[in-house]
Structure 1
Amino acid sequence: MSRQARRDTSPEVAVRKLLHAAGLRYRLQRKVPGMSRRTIDIAFPGVRVAVFLDGCFWHGCPQHATSPKANSEWWRVKLDRNVARDLETTAHLQAAGWLVLRFWEHEPPEDVAMRVSQVVRGLQQP
């Protein structure tokens, strides 16, 4: 587990490059206000948009999630807690007035960047 990237994963970097090329500026790994040890992958603080790119294994993707056979009970509890933490973080940010966008790592970066760009540009002041 220690070898798993927590930040700067390939999907994150690909989406960030596309957003930057589209002229959008953002903050990386911004702390979730009022929640210790939780960060937003890509944040647009001015318009309060939080973008998360969730790994299929770690966050319970309905299409690609797998369950390890060794120590399966421990892993089930661990992964279920991750999903619950994601829900809690989303609810916390929404209550604070943020729009939360969550994407799976398997989604094409072009699609993710296009959706994020549409939302952010729609919220920006003319």
Structure 2
Amino acid sequence: MSSPAPWVPPEGSWASSAARRRNMQAIRSRDTKPEQLIRRLVHAQGFRYRVAARPLPALHRTADMVFRPAKVAVFVDGCYWHGCPEHYVPPKTNSGYWSKKVEGNMARDRDTDQQLTDAGWLVLRFWEHSAAQECAAEIARTVTRRRQTT
């Protein structure tokens, strides 16, 4: 019996192995547990919002929660993907690629914040490890305050 052919990543793939590829493909880009918990708490307070929406149609980036009339965009950032100063641990395999990817994400986050701020939006960013109750309370206070001034 012959042994199976060695795994070869698809052309242009970032995966170092088939198992790594499956693992990375399974990671959610939206509707994560921290996002869902915060959304549930904010919704329970009577606030309505758009989920995974573009605050600015011309800007090809989505916020986790968008309060259009109040012009508030909320992002719940993952500690690994956005370089949390408390919890980010550089990868041990393919570290050059992944470190560069996270740095790019952080630069894009800063650019997104600047573009939204320049357009009159208020950006709220929370880490996935932040207490959901505190995040929801800050969102509610901020949206309420912004609604009163518009």
- Please report the TM-score for the alignment, with normalisation by the length of structure 1: 0.95
**Which residue pairs with 2:118 in the alignment?**
95
Map 1:26-45 → 2, pairs under 5 A:
26-33=49-56, 34-36=58-60, 38-45=61-68
Correspondent of 1:79 among 93, 99, 102: 102
Aligned-pair Cα RMSD in Å = 1.1
Given residue 27 of structure 2, which amino acid in structure 1 is its aligned partner? Q
Secondary structure at 1:125's aligned position in 2?
helix
Alignment-derived partner of residue 61 in structure 1: 84
Q: How many residues align?
A: 125
Aligned pairs (5 A) from 1:15-30: 15-30=38-53
> 2:131 is matched with which residue?
108
Which residues of structure 1 form unaligned runs of 5+?
Answer: none
Determine if contact 2:55/2:66 at 8 Å carries over to the other structure.
Answer: no
Asked which structure has the greater CA Rg, the reply is 2
2:55 touches 2:68 (CA, 8 Å); kept in 1?
no
Q: Distance in 1 between matches of 2:148 and 2:125?
A: 23
Gaps of 5+ in 2: 1-23
Indicate yes or no: 2:36 matched with 1:3.
Answer: no
Identical counterparts, % of pairs = 46
Q: Which structure carries more strand by proportion? A: 1
Shift of 1:76: 1.1
Structure with the bigger RCO (C-alpha within 8 Å, sep 6+) is: 1
Mapped to 2, the partners of 1:35 and 1:102 lie a distance apart of: 18
Instruction: Name the SS of the counterpart of 1:124 in structure 2.
Output: helix
Which among 35, 55, 63 is matched to residue 12 of structure 1?
35
